[in-house]
């Protein structure tokens, strides 16, 4: 039995690689998680064409270059994002703020469209008030969003 299996990633997987990358992983990880979740496909001889297609799609989606990444960082840094959330007594939220909530709030505030997978929430946001969230705009550029969580009416 093989100790690793070769897969082609179809989506970004933290700590493993980006779409189009050929990776070797433990068979159980590939068979039970990556493939069923649609994050990877088996690397076969015919898959070389698929790799090229996946990489082209990634290049179109990716931030064009470092200058563009800096521009997006500038937009995000100058943005004040207000996020209404349901809360109880003492300012505690019902549930917590997710990266998808942050993406919606940024676009409502007039910011750029972001991918929720690029957003990192340090510790779970479970209270009203000011919080900061980081966004990995580019492998070399990280922006911080000032998030103001307010009680929804």
Q: Say whether pLDDT at 1 is over 70.
A: no
Comparison of pLDDT for 11 and 5, the residue scoring more: 5
Q: What does pTM read for this prediction?
A: 0.56
**Confidence at residue 11, expressed as pLDDT on a 0 to 100 scale:** 81
55 and 98 both lie in a single domain: no
Q: What is the pLDDT of residues 34-44, one digit of tens each?
A: 999 888 888 88
Q: Which of 31, 61, 91 is the last residue of a domain?
A: 61
For residue 146, what pLDDT is reported?
A: 86
Ramachandran angles phi, psi of 141, nearest 5°: -125, 125
For the sheet containing 141-151, what is the strand order?
Answer: 80-85, 141-151, 129-138, 119-120
**Could you tell me if 71 and 124 lie in one domain?**
yes
Q: Tally the domains of the chain.
A: 2
Residue 138 and residue 86 share a domain: yes
Do 86 and 15 share a domain, yes or no? no
Same domain, 46 and 72: no
Q: Mean pLDDT across the stretch 56-80?
A: 73
User: Is it the case that residue 26 has pLDDT exceeding 90?
Assistant: yes
**For residue 21, which phi and psi values (nearest 5 degrees)?**
-75, 140
- Which are the contacts of 20, defined by CB distance < 8 A and separation ≥ 6? 8, 9, 51, 52, 54, 55, 58
Across the chain, mean pLDDT equals 82
Q: Are residues 48 and 98 in the same domain?
A: no
74, 139: one domain:
yes
Instruction: Determine which of 37-51, 56-70, 121-135 has the lowest per-residue pLDDT on average.
Output: 56-70
Same domain flag for 29 and 11: yes
Question: Is residue 144's pLDDT more than 70?
Answer: yes
> What pLDDT, in 10s, does the model give residues 93-127?
888 888 888 888 888 888 777 878 888 888 888 88
| CATH number, domain containing residue 115 | 3.10.430.100
Q: What pLDDT is attached to residue 32? A: 94
Domain of residue 24, residue span: 5-61
- Per-residue confidence (pLDDT) for residue 31, from 0 to 100: 92
Q: What is the mean pLDDT of residues 29-37?
A: 92
When pLDDT is averaged across residues 145-152 and rounded to a whole number, the result is 87
User: Among residues 61, 82, 100, which one ends one of the domains?
Assistant: 61
Q: What is the CATH number of the domain that holds 51?
A: 3.40.5.10
């Amino acid at each position: 039995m093989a100790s690793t299996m070769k897969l082609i990633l179809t989506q970004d997987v933290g700590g493993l690689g980006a779409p189009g990358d050929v990776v070797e992983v433990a068979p159980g990880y590939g068979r039970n998680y990556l493939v069923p979740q649609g994050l990877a496909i088996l690397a076969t001889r015919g898959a070389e064409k698929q790799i090229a297609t996946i990489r082209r799609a990634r290049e179109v989606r990716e931030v064009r270059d470092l200058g563009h990444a800096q521009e997006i960082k500038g937009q995000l840094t100058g943005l004040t994002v207000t996020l209404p959330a349901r809360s109880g007594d003492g300012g505690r939220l019902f549930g917590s703020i997710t990266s998808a909530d942050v993406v919606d709030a940024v676009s409502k505030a007039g910011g750029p469209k972001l991918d929720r997978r690029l957003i990192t929430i340090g510790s779970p946001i479970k209270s009203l008030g000011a919080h900061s969230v980081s966004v990995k705009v580019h492998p070399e550029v990280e922006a911080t969003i000032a998030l103001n969580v307010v009680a929804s009416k």
